[in-house]
Chain A
Amino acid sequence: MKIALISSYGGHLNEIMQIVDVFKSYDYFFITYDNFRTRGMNEEKHLMDNIGKNPIKMIKAFIKFYSIYRNERPDVIVSTGSEIAIPAFILAKIMGIRSVYIETWCRVKTRSGTGKIVYYFSDIFLVQWPDLLDLYGPKAQYYGGVI
């Protein structure tokens, strides 16, 4: 089984690193933003431009994800956000790739912009604080945080 771990750099990447041991018995790789820190990562990785709020970069990200998915053929994608998860999960849905979204640890009482969208495209939707269960709806599940 091949797993793609997807996150922006900084805190979101830090979150996924907290649970990286879960994936070590499988073939896994990262898809994250290009940055001085991520360039130094030893793991197998694909680096892309930070999307931020730029619509053109968002479109480019869709194309990039399409090519990564076609070449790498992941069976499952897992993400802790942020907006990099939007193209990742929409395309995964279209291409029939299983997906697990973990709402970021810093969202305790309010939904993230990414979470609001990805909720509809993910197979499994996890939150790290219990107050978010009702806010998101029946698909949301809570099994504690990454730390």
Chain B
Amino acid sequence: MIFVTVGTHYHGFERLIKKMDEVSLKIDENVVMQIGNTEYEPKNCEYYKFVEEEQMLDLYKNSDVIVAHGGEGTLMDALSFVKPVIVVPRLKKFHEHTDDHQIEISEALESQGKVIVIYDVNRLENALVEAKKMSLQQTKKSKTLAKFLEDYLRELKI
């Protein structure tokens, strides 16, 4: 199953949802989408506007590929499941966000080899094929920040 998620942002993500709805007809896999505030209603796939946390985790768990917007919360969740992740950053010029900051984290994760990033949704079909070939590794959670905070709090001696 391909799980598409665009988070809870108040802007819709018409470009991605429309394209994915179209692509779903050309591929064998089942596509499930969480479309958030997107106005376009998918005609060819199962979709939800918003999903409770527990169901969200199930959708991630049951997916073979995750297609996500570049929201940090979404990406943190998506990466924790060790599945191929394709990121489509929301862009200001398409009225998908107030600025282009989603590109920053998307590029950083791409340069670490953790995700595939596409800016043009016409590349989606190709990216889905590429995603299957990704070599995946469980990201080891960094503990240095937590350690710094623990020490800081302990030394306050309150």
Contacts and interface: CB of A to CB of B under 8 A. Distances in A.
Interface of A: 1, 3, 9-15, 18-19, 21-23, 26, 35-37, 40, 75-76, 78, 98, 100, 102, 104-110, 112, 124, 126, 128-129, 141, 143-147
Contacts of B53: 37, 40
A107 B50 CA distance: 26
A141 B142 CA distance: 15
A147 B79 contact: yes
Contacts of B148: 126, 141, 143
Contacts of A11: 7, 71-74, 76
Given A1-B156, A106-B101, A22 B149 contact: yes
Interface in B64-115: 70-74, 76-77, 79-80, 101-102, 104-105, 107-108
Interface in B30-80: 50, 52-53, 70-74, 76-77, 79-80
In this complex, the interface size class of chain B, counting residues with CB under 8 Å from chain A, is 35 or more
B107 A108 contact: yes
A22 B158 contact: no
Interface in B142-158: 142-150, 152-153, 156, 158
B101 A110 contact: yes
Given A144-B142, A144-B144, A145-B145, A14 B72 contact: yes
Contact of A10 (B7, B70, B139, B149): B7
Given A102-B145, A108-B105, A147-B142, 7 more contacts: A18-B141, A22-B146, A26-B153, A37-B8, A106-B71, A106-B72, A108-B107
A129 B79 CA distance: 17
Contact of A147 (B8, B76, B101, B156): B76
B145 A106 contact: no
A1 B107 CA distance: 39
Nearest to A18: B76
B15 to A, nearest CB: 20
Contacts of A112: 101
A29 B71 CA distance: 25
